[in-house]
Structure 1
Amino acid sequence: METYEILDELRREQHTAVASATLDVTEIGPWLSTVYDAVARTIITQGTSITGPPFARYHALGDARFDVEAGFPVTAPINSTDEVHPSSLPGGPAACTIHEGPYDSMEPAYQALTTWLTTQNAAAAGDPWEIYFSDPTTNPDPSTWRTEVVQPYTPTDPSRANRTTSPAPTAQPNPVPRRLPNPTQEPSEAKAQGVRVAEPPPAASEAQPHNTTKARRPAQELRGTPRLSSSWS
Structure 2
Amino acid sequence: MVSNSAAPSVVTRAAQPYVGIRCEVTMDTIAAAGDRLPEVFGWLGERGIAPADAPFFKYDVIDMAATLVIEVGVPVAEPVEGEGDIVAGILPAGRYATVTHVGHPDELAGVTGELLSWAEGQGLQFDYRLAEEGEVWACRLEVYHTDPTVEPDMNKWETTLLFRLAD
Q: TM-score range by the shorter chain?
A: 0.7 to 0.9
TM-score, structure 2 as length reference? 0.83
Whether the 8 Å CA contact 2:58–2:73 is kept in 1: the answer is no
Residues 81-116 of structure 1: per-residue CA shift (max 9 Å, x gap)? 111010121110111101111011112321222122
Aligned to 1:37: 38
Question: Among residues 122, 125, 137, which one is paired with 1:123 in the alignment?
Answer: 125
SS in structure 1 of the partner of residue 33 of structure 2: helix
Question: Among residues 138, 145, 150, which one is paired with 2:157 in the alignment?
Answer: 145
What is the aligned residue count? 154
List runs of 5+ in structure 2 lacking aligned partners: 129-136
Note closer, same or farther for the CA distance 1:62–1:107 as it changes in structure 2 (3 Å cut).
Answer: closer
Query: Which whole-Å CA distance do the structure 2 matches of 1:152 and 1:108 have between them?
Result: 19
User: Structure 2 counterpart of 1:147, which letter?
Assistant: T
List runs of 5+ in structure 1 lacking aligned partners: 156-233
Tell me which protein shows more strand as a share of its residues: 2
2:92 aligned with 1:52, yes or no? no
Residues 7-43 of structure 1: per-residue CA shift (max 9 Å, x gap)? 210111100001002122333212312x111111212
Aligned to 2:92: 90
TM-score, structure 1 as length reference? 0.61
Whether the 8 Å CA contact 2:33–2:72 is kept in 1: the answer is no
User: Structure 1 counterpart of 2:20, which letter?
Assistant: V
Residues 38-70 of structure 1: per-residue CA shift (max 9 Å, x gap)? 111212323333100100012213533110101
Note closer, same or farther for the CA distance 1:110–1:150 as it changes in structure 2 (3 Å cut).
Answer: same
Whether the 8 Å CA contact 2:58–2:70 is kept in 1: the answer is yes
Shift of 1:124: 0.7
User: Structure 1 counterpart of 2:146, which letter?
Assistant: S
Aligned to 2:132: none
SS in structure 2 of the partner of residue 42 of structure 1: helix
SS in structure 2 of the partner of residue 25 of structure 1: coil
Aligned to 1:18: 20
Residues 116-136 of structure 1: per-residue CA shift (max 9 Å, x gap)? 221221111133210001122
Query: Which whole-Å CA distance do the structure 1 matches of 2:99 and 2:166 have between them?
Result: 17
